[in-house]
Structures are given as C-alpha cells and as structure tokens.
Structure 1
Amino acid sequence: MSAPGSFHVSHLSKKFAKFRSDGHRLAHCLSRRVAPLSEVAVLNDLSFSIAPGEALGIVGHNGAGKSTLLKIITGTLAPTTGQVILNGRVFAILELGMGFNPDLTARENVRHVAGLMGISSAELEEVLPDLEAFAEIGPYFDQPMRHYSSGMHMRVAFALATAIRPDILIVDEALSVGDAYFQHKSFDRIRSFREQGTTLLFVSHDKSAILALCDRCILLDHGRLLMDGPPTAVMDYYNALVAEKESATLVQTVNTDGLTTTRSGTGEVTISDIRLVCKGDTVDLIEVGEDITLRLEASCHAPVARLVVGYMIKDRLGQAVFGTNTHHTKQPLVDLREGDFVNFEFNFPANLGPGSYSISISLSSTENHLQNNYEWRDLALVFTVVNTRHHHFAGSAWIPPVIKISRKS
C-alpha cells in the first residue's frame, strides 16, 4: 500500500467532443457507433508520480492542459483514458469560489463546503476560530459573500483549504489574487505544511513562487509532458520556449558543474566571450562588496537595426537578485553590420550575501527577449561570493547599516 501523500498519474488522456445537439450527445452515450462531429485532445498520455512530502510545480502556457489536469486529479472531471491514484486526505484550491453560495455568510459557507471536503463537524468547530482569525476579514465573516472582493474570497478559500493540514495540498493560480500581505502569509503556511510532510502540487506562472516552493517541476505543452526535472532547468526552458515560439534553436546542455544551461535565439547576434573581472583578473570567487566588471563581447552575423544587451543575476535557487539592460539605461546600439564586434562592460559592487550565483544574458532588439531574441543564455556564468572581511550577516544582499543607539537612565 502506498504511503499517505503519494499519488500517481498513469497514461492520462482527455478529449472533449463536439456534438450537433444534446440528442446527438445522448445517442453517442448510448451507442459508441454514433460518432461526435469532432474531438479535441487536451491531455495526451500523461504519466508521473509524486513521493510523500515532495513539492511539484506545474507550468505551461495557457491552453497547455494544466487546469484540466487538476480537475481530473481532484475528481471534478473524468479522464477519457488513464487513472489517478491518490493516497491520503487531499485539499485543493482551484477556483476562488470553491462552491461558495454568495447569499450565505463566510461562516455558513465554510460549514457547508467543509462537509463536501470531508471535514467532520467536530473537526471544523475545533479549527473554526483559527480559520476565522487567519482569514482576517473581521465582521465580514458573518456577512453575505456577495459583498466580498476577490481578495476576500481568496482569504476565506485559502483559510478553509488549509485549516487542517492535508496529506496533499493542490493550489492553482488563485494565490495570485489578493494583497501582498496575505500572499506572504499564505506562502508561509504552505512552507510550514511542507516542513510537516504535506505533499504539494502547485500550478503557477510565477517563476519566483515555483522556485521558492518546489523541488521538482513539470512542463506541459499542448497536453503533453514536455519536461520533468529541477525547477531551475524547467523554468529556464519554459521561458526560452516563450521567447522562441519555435523550439528548433532551443538547446539545453549540462555543464561541467552538473548544471543545466539553456540557450536559445535566432543567431543574428551571439555572445562570443563573457567573463567576470576583478582587479584585472578573470574570477569566479568574489568577496562581499568587491568592485567587479561583467565583460561581454557580442558578434554580429547579420545586419541588426537595434541591439539591447541585458543581464540578470540569480541566486542558487534561480530567484532574480538584480537585472537591467541597455534599453532601460538608454544605451541601445543601432545599425550594426555583419562582422561587427561590440564589447560591453557592466561595472558594479558585489553587494551580495555569501553563496552561489549565476548570470543570464539576453541579446535582443527590445527591452525584453520576447521579440527578436538573438540570443538568450541562462547560467552563462556561475560565481561564488564569500565573506572574509565583514561582520557576519544573513540574506542575499550586503546592505550595511549605520547604527545609532541612545540610552536614557
């Protein structure tokens, strides 16, 4: 018997059929010899497993099949073929409404929906005070929910779904709704559940959230499982796909450090050299606060009307630390010719906390790489920051304070 918190998706497919009328649909149900007008495959032979306590992120463009997959996993939609095996108590936040009746108060809705979720009356009454306190909507908790904003709906829905720690928690994009304070509070609760062993299935377009919460990620594309691996590698590939539109020039390789690097682009301009320099020497080990230079040489293989060069520093989890480009600094280059070489120097102090960092590079014609993506390279450089000269501090930024203390007797 599988352990609580694990689940398995096996050869899952879903097709939606189109019929001339309800009578035609009924005839199809009674006799499979009556064919629908057409069928659209939304999921195609998906298979993956999740171990107890694992956090899996699911990403993909709109229409990739993410919502359909979640509805099948939670049992609100039947698959065409395949099966889902869940082990343990499962709570899900797929939509803000969660079956709430707008004419009922939050308290009344919570009691009603909790029963549908399999939470007993005794369990609910025990956690209801904490649930109400977590939602933080004050007297609105006893007012009809038709008066609520989308953020207030989110607060009640999330508070209910996490009132009791489940074996498996499934969260869709709903957390993107609402204020920043409650988002931080929600993510803290999810992290707490993870530390206690809850398995997490998290769907989001927010790269930072995926990287912060998940230890594995899958990428769906047109209903198929395109990639399954570390969140940094999957998100880099996904971002490159968004820029590339076509994957013909999108390549992933594993470097000598075992890291998956992603490279894409049309190739009119490419990176011919890149390095970090400190005091005239190429380095990959940097002291906190040290002045460094990112040197980059770009080679033109065709005429280019406009070139924008950008870089992004990321921490070891792939979270963005700092990024900019020559569009934002008002230094784009124009009318480059085939055979031109251009050198760029970005000088800055390494006001970073100790740890491992990477640099991504973008060559494009605009402020982002979604149009005329000449070259996009993740993990173009990897470097380490150490602290041997300053007082100990925590975090990813070196922001030394001037401390003044006054004492009165």
Structure 2
Amino acid sequence: MSAQLHVEGLSKSYARWSNEWLRVLSWFGLPVKPVEQHNVLRNISFTVRPGECVGIVGQNGAGKSTLLKLITGTLQPTSGRVTRTGSVSAILELGMGFNLDLTGRQNVFHAAGLMGRSQAEVAAVIADIERFAEIGDYFDEPVRTYSSGMQMRVAFSVATAFRPDLLIVDEALSVGDTYFVHKCFDRIKEFREQGTTLLFVSHDPTAVQALCDRAILIEAGSLILDAEPKQVIDYYNALIAKKEQAAITVSTLEQGGVSVESGSYEASVEGVALLNERGEATEYLEVGEIVTLSVRVRVRDPLENLVFGYMVRDRLGQVMFGTNTHYSDQGLTSLQAGEELVFEARFAAALGPGSYSISIALADAQDHIGRNYQWKDMALMFAVVNASRDYFIGSCWLPPKIAIKSSLQAAQ
C-alpha cells in the first residue's frame, strides 16, 4: 500500500545574523555563518499509510507544531522533504487564516477558498457548517467578538466540511467545551471509518490511545520513539518526570507488551502481588471479586515525604482507576534508609472481562512530576472473567436494579 504521507530527513532551523547583508548572501549559497542557529527539528523521518491514525506526542517546545506546519506547507524545511498524496485539511493554530474583522460566515468562504474549494462548493455546504458549529447568530458577527471556543467551533466545522484524505489536528480541540469536543471526535471517528488518514497532536493520553494506531514522540526536535500509543505515552510520562540522576528503561515482558520504568530510586518497588480473599496470589479474577493489591517498598535513602499510588489500566492503556496516599491523606514523612513498607489496597474488581495491568508510582507528592522515586508501568498483569454474573458489556461492572412501571398498572 502506498504512503499517504512520507516525511524524510526533515529539519528546520532559524538563524540570527549580525546584519541583513549576510542573510541575503546566504540565500546565494555563499559560505557565511550566522551569529546563532537554533535547530527546531532535526532529521525527522516517518511514514503514514492510508487510513492510519498517528498521534504526535511531546512536551511544549518539542517541535510538534513546527512539524505540522512543514507537513502542511505553511513553513519550508531547512532540509529534507515531505511527500503527500490526496487532499489535506488541517486545524493548526486557533483561528489560523481567519480575518478578525470578517464574520464567521465570510471567514468560512475565505478559509475554504484557501483550502482549494470553489465558492459554489462552499455555498453548497455552508448551511451544514453553520449547523455543526452551533454558534447561533454569532455566525454573522465579526470573529473578533468570538471566544476561543467559538473560533474553534467554526475552524473545525469548515476544516471538516469536506472529508479529506489526510486530516491534521493540533491542540486546537483543547479549548472546546466537553459537548463540542465529543462532537468533533465523533466526526473524526466517522472520517476514519471512511478511510481518512489522521495526524493528531494532543497531550490527552486517553484520546491518543483511543484514536491512534501508533504514536511518535518528539523530544527537543528529534523523533525518539515510534511505537504503539501506550508505550509512547508511558515513555512521555517518564520524560516529564525525569530529573537529575533519574533513569528511563524500556523492557519487553514475558506476557507480551512493553514496560517503561523511570525514577531516581531513593525508594523502590521490591514486590507486587494481587491477593484473593484467602491471601493467595492470583492473576485471574472474577467480576466483582474482592482482592488486595500488596506492594512491598524499600526506602534506600532518607526521605522527607513518600506517596504511594497505583493505576489500573485496560489492555489499551486507558486508565480504569487510579489513586494514591496523598488523596487518602496517608502520605508518609521522615522515613529512614533501609526501612521496608508494605502497602495494601483492598477493592472490588468491578471490571468487565478482559486483560488489565497495574502501574505503581512512588513520589514525594501527589504526582510524579516533582520527585519521581519510581514509576513502574505494567508492574503486574491480570485477567478478569465473568463466571457467575449476568451478561454485560463494557469495561466496568455497574449492576443495576431495574424497575419497570406500567401506566396501565398505575391506572388500576
């Protein structure tokens, strides 16, 4: 199958010159050097197949937005090339291409024209765009009167008025209200089912894992990982938590899958077990079964604070539940080197049938962004089966008591 998008050796740098004459001379290939050169992207290469959804993940300033602008052609690379096939629609910077003095309706014609659509084509779908945006009379008001959420509504509506072969979505959706964001994702999923290729930039791990077939991680302008979404998100979280003396390791598990671990290891996980009510270690649970997560921790250096946390995740890496001892007001203080602790979390496995994993975190506060002693992804894996409950679908077991009331019975 031919590539929808091929990025090869893409680099982008910005130079600062001592005077403009030297800048002009550089255009003609003369050997003049700038005072300073800032490399935003370095030798990025990847391929996206037709119908594939690829997430782009990275910290602020990593170069994600620059990469998208190079792919769409709004920026030119310093070196390398981008090869695209088919029609492209992009939502990059919020309101990009909008004239603030024009109304929403006028901007739709203007923006769609920049996308290569004729006035007649836009006129044929303008009612659908207005209906999807749902901003009422503001559609005929100047865009300068819009909130950021309203701008996003119009921008997304016009960008997706015609199904493109390649849809590129940057962080613009992050400013929308919950209702409209759900509406946008429904349209994106619909396009995907119809064969649209998607490039999706987001800091929302749930969205990346739910939508994407794979993800790439950009760090300091370089592509450092191209893998399945869960592995990329875990590595990204480890990078955020990484401090001096911290290490990041990636390992392949015997059960399958890849585990990412990071930390400075002033405290470390020595053992993890899931115990049934008889106190026996188990990897197979029944829906709703009462279990205890037992985690043994060794304190290696004196610690002022220690917070223990865990997350239960499904096979796609989406979080089913997570908590820690900060939220339960059980954070520990003044711990001595060599001390051993056992944390026990007892809960009902109110989960749907399937495979799950548990991730463990040891930190000094409510998250591992401050001092990350250890983050251990996929520390334990287990399966849930439905052997005795009524049949149900979904990731959670929420058994109802269903009452049925008839109007005829009420009349009698």
**Offset from partner CA, 1:169-209 (integer Å, 9 cap, x none):** 00000000120000011011111111111100011111111
Q: Please name the residue that 1:378 is paired with.
A: 377
* 1:328 positional shift: 0.9
2:8 corresponding residue in structure 1: 10
Q: In 1, distance between residues paired with 2:58 and 2:132? A: 31
Q: Does 2:311 correspond to 1:287?
A: no
1:218 aligns with 2:200: no
Find the residue that maps to 1:282 and give its secondary structure. coil
Q: What is the identity percentage for the equivalent residue pairs of Structure 1 and Structure 2?
A: 54
Separation in structure 1 between the aligned mates of residue 45 and residue 243 of structure 2, nearest angstrom: 25
SS in structure 2 of the partner of residue 366 of structure 1: coil
Bigger Cα displacement from structure 2, 295-304 vs 115-124: 115-124
One-letter code of the match for 1:319?
A: Q
**Alignment match, 2:116:** 118
Pairing 1:103-182 to 2, within 5 Å after superposition: 103-182=101-180
One-letter code of the match for 2:192?
Answer: R
1:267-307 deviation per Cα after TM superposition (whole angstroms, max 9, x unaligned): 11111110111122211111111111000100122222221
CA gap 1:195/1:247 in 2 versus in 1, 3 angstroms = farther
Q: What does residue 69 of structure 1 align with? A: 67
3-state SS in 2 of match to 1:141: helix
- Aligned partners of 1:253 and 1:33: how far apart in 2? 46
What amino acid sits opposite 2:93 in the alignment?
E
CA distance in 1, matches of 2:29, 2:405: 86
Listed as ranges, the gaps of 5+ residues in structure 1 are: none
Q: Is the 8 A contact 2:246 2:264 kept in 1?
A: no
CA displacement at 1:27 relative to structure 2:
3.6
The one-letter amino acid paired with 2:107 is N
**Closer, same or farther: CA 78–131 of 1 in aligned 2, 3 Å:** same
Look up the SS of the partner of 1:250 in the other structure.
Answer: strand
1:139 shift after superposition: 1.3
Per mean C-alpha deviation after superposition, the further-off stretch among 111-120 and 332-341 is 332-341
SS at match of 1:281: coil
Counterpart code for 2:361? S
* Aligned 8 A contact 2:243 2:371 in 1: no
Instruction: Name the TM-score, length of structure 2 as normaliser.
Output: 0.96
8 A Cα contact 1:28 1:36, kept in partner: no
Match of residue 240 from structure 1: 238
The CA deviation at 1:21 is 4.0
Provide the alpha-carbon RMSD of the alignment.
1.5
Contact 1:241–1:247 (Cα < 8 Å) also in 2: no
State the one-letter code of the partner of 2:171.
E
Q: How does 1:238-387 map to 2 (within 5 A)?
A: 238-245=236-243, 249-279=247-277, 280-387=279-386
CA shift for structure 1 position 232 = 0.3
Match for 2:185: what amino acid?
A: F
Q: Give the match for residue 185 of structure 1.
A: 183
The aligned counterpart of 1:394 is 393
Deviation at 1:38, TM superposition (A): 1.3
SS in 2 for 1:47: strand
In structure 2, runs of 5+ residues without a counterpart are: none
Q: TM-score, normalised by structure 1?
A: 0.96
In structure 2, give the amino acid aligned to 1:403.
Answer: I
- In 2: Cα distance, 1:395 partner to 1:247 partner: 42
> Are 1:8 and 1:50, in contact at CA under 8 Å, matched by a contact in 2?
yes
Contact 2:294 2:343 in 1 (8 A): yes
Question: Runs of at least 4 residues of structure 1 off by over 6 A?
Answer: none
